[in-house]
């Protein structure tokens, strides 16, 4: 499981790297970033996975997320994969829309042509990339947390809910909590999985919780000034679902904050400290 190093930079007493590899799952070259704090020889560190949102690559959080100081102080490895396969022959939305196709993999394994061949982000994030990270970095795979933003928040919630016991901590910034009930999700799930809605439920956090899936705990921050809140995110559905299911959750509405990395970077250190408490 070989990787190519694209860049490394010294930062906050650690190393920020960007890497690529030939993915078996997507059939493409995939790029990801990893921040590793300095540590004693032979030591293994907890890892936090960060899943990005629509239109993003690994670079958005790597350049704007302001996570390195907190990760260095807390001793956390931070891994940020891409949001979809890319490259020649990878199908995109026919009209070039931002919310489907390239940059919008929705962390599903597609079953519909022409997307099924390459759009296997669920298997990539759940299986292939963790194996690659475990083989090449000083990670303690018994201490994993997962987080994400928007579409990536949806990915973090659903991946954690589908894999009980794997992640000690789960959090999200402005997640799509019920994709089966909002336009972004209906377009993506319909396009990747077809119109048989029973196949959508394993990619819908509210549906998974309704179906009995549980997390040890959950932290969500949502900006009240987010222009996607009312139509696409519908955070209240997650609040209602968690209350009904008695799922432990802290869901914080943040006045004045929008959907951008100004919002994410403001609360990133809070989230990482919350993860660290549960990972150590």
- Listed in sequence order, the DSSP H helices in 178-234 are 183-193, 205-210
Q: 150, 160, 169, 171: which one is catalytic?
A: 150
Closest by Cα among 257, 107, 262 to 179: 107
C-alpha span between 267 and 259 (Å, rounded) = 12
Q: Do strands 77-81 and 29-37 pair parallel, antiparallel, or not at all (unpaired)? A: antiparallel
**Sign, CA torsion 196/129/212/173:** negative
Tell me how far apart the alpha carbons of residues 272 and 264 are, in angstroms, rounded to a whole number: 12
Told to judge if 226 belongs to the known catalytic residues of this protein, a careful annotator would answer yes
CA atoms of 161 and 164, how far apart (whole Å): 6
Token pair recorded at residue 138 = 């000083």
Catalytic residue among 221, 226, 271, 275: 226
Active-site residue, selected from the candidate residues 118, 259, 271, 275 = 259
Work out the number of other CB atoms within 10 angstroms of the CB of residue 250: 12
| Residue found by looking up tokens 């919002």 in the block | 263
User: Which residues are identified as catalytic?
Assistant: 150, 226, 259
């Amino acid at each position: 499981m070989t990787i190519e190093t694209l860049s490394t930079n010294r930062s906050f007493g650690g190393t920020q790297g960007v890497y690529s590899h030939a993915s078996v799952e997507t059939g493409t070259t995939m790029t990801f970033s990893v921040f590793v704090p300095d540590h004693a020889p032979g030591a293994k560190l907890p890892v936090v996975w960060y899943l990005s949102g629509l239109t993003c690559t690994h670079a958005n959080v790597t350049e704007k997320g302001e996570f390195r100081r907190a990760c260095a102080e807390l001793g956390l490895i931070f891994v940020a994969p891409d949001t979809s396969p890319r490259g020649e022959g990878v199908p995109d939305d026919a009209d070039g829309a931002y919310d489907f196709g390239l940059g919008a993999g929705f962390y599903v394994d597609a079953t519909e042509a022409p997307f099924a061949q390459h759009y296997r982000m669920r298997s990539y994030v759940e299986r292939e990339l963790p194996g690659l990270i475990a083989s090449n970095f000083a990670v303690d795979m018994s201490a994993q947390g997962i987080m994400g933003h928007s579409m990536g928040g949806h990915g973090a919630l659903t991946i954690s809910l589908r894999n009980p016991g794997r992640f000690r901590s789960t959090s999200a910034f402005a997640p799509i909590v019920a994709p089966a009930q909002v336009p972004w999700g209906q377009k993506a799930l319909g396009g990747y999985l077809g119109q048989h809605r029973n196949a959508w439920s394993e990619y819908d956090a509210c549906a998974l919780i309704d179906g009995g899936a549980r997390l040890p705990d959950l932290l969500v921050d949502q900006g009240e000034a987010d222009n996607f809140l009312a139509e696409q995110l519908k955070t209240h559905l997650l609040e209602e679902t968690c209350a009904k299911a008695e799922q432990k959750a802290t869901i914080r509405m943040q006045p004045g904050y929008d959907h951008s990395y100004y919002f994410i970077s403001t609360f990133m250190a809070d989230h990482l400290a919350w993860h660290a408490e549960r990972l150590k």
